[in-house]
Chains A and B, each alone.
Chain A
Amino acid sequence: MSEREWLRAEAKRKGLQLSEDDLEFIQERLEATRTALAKLRPIQTEGLEPPGYFAPSKKSD
Chain B
Amino acid sequence: MKPNLPFTHITELAELVKNKKVSPVEIVQELLTRIEQFNSQLNSYITTCADSALATARQAEAEIQAGHYRGALHGIPVSHKDLSWTKGVRTTAHSKTLLEFIPETNATHVERLEKAGMVLLGKTNTTEFACGDMHLFGKSCNPWDITRSSGASSGGSANAVAAGLAVAATGTDTGGSTRVPASFCGVVGVKATFGRVSRYGIFPLSYTMDSVGPITRTVADAALMLNAMSGCDPLDSSTSHETVPDFTSSLRQGIKGLVLGVPEHYFFEGLEPAVAKATEAALKQLESLGAKLQVVRLPMAADLSAAANILVMGEAFSQHAARLREGAQGYGPKARRRICSGAFFSSAEFLQAAQIRTLWIRELGTVMRQVDALITPTLPFTAFSVETWEDNPPDTSWATRHFNFSGHPAMTVPCGFDEQGLPIGLQIVANAFDEATMFRVGHAYEQTTKWYERRPVLFAGGSHV
Contact = CB atoms under 8 A, between A and B. Distances in A.
The answer to whether A and B belong to the same complex is: yes
Interface of A: 7, 10-11, 14-19, 21-22, 25-26, 29-30, 32-34, 36-37, 40-42, 45, 48-51, 53, 61
Given A42-B356, A61-B241, A30 B345 contact: yes
22 contacts: A18-B336, A22-B333, A22-B337, A25-B337, A25-B341, A26-B337, A26-B341, A29-B337, A29-B341, A30-B344, A34-B306, A34-B349, A36-B305, A37-B306, A37-B307, A40-B306, A42-B359, A48-B355, A48-B358, A49-B362, A50-B358, A53-B208
B352 A37 contact: yes
A27 to B, nearest CB: 9
Contacts of B327: 17
Contacts of A45: 355
A15 B338 CA distance: 17
A1 to B, nearest CB: 14
Contact of B340 (A26, A34, A42): A26
B340 A18 contact: yes
B355 A33 contact: no
A2 B414 CA distance: 49
A16 B322 CA distance: 10
Interface string B312-348: 0000000001001101110001001110110111000
Given A17-B327, A18-B340, A30-B341, A51 B358 contact: yes
Given A14-B325, A22-B333, 9 more contacts: A14-B321, A14-B343, A16-B340, A21-B333, A25-B333, A37-B307, A42-B352, A51-B354, A53-B238
The 8 closest A-B pairs by CB, nearest first: A36-B306, A15-B325, A25-B337, A37-B306, A26-B341, A29-B341, A33-B306, A33-B309
B357 interface: yes
B310 A51 contact: no
Nearest to B407: A53
Secondary structure type dominating chain B contacts: helix
Interface in B76-124: none
Interface of B: 208, 238, 241, 303, 305-307, 309-310, 321, 324-325, 327-329, 333, 336-338, 340-341, 343-345, 349, 352-359, 361-362
B241 A37 contact: no
A61 to B, nearest CB: 6
Contacts of A50: 358
B282 to A, nearest CB: 31
Contacts of B324: 16
Contacts of B329: 17, 19
A17 B344 contact: no
A14 B345 CA distance: 13
Contacts of B208: 53
Given A16-B324, A21-B333, A26 B358 contact: no
Contacts of A25: 333, 337, 341
B406 to A, nearest CB: 10
A14 B327 CA distance: 12
A10 B344 contact: yes
B336 A40 contact: no
Contacts of B309: 29, 33
Nearest to A22: B337
A17 B328 contact: yes
Nearest to A41: B352
A10 B342 CA distance: 12
A22 B338 CA distance: 9
B206 to A, nearest CB: 12
Contacts of B345: 30, 33
Nearest to A34: B349
Contacts of B310: 33, 37
Given A30-B344, A33-B309, A40 B356 contact: yes
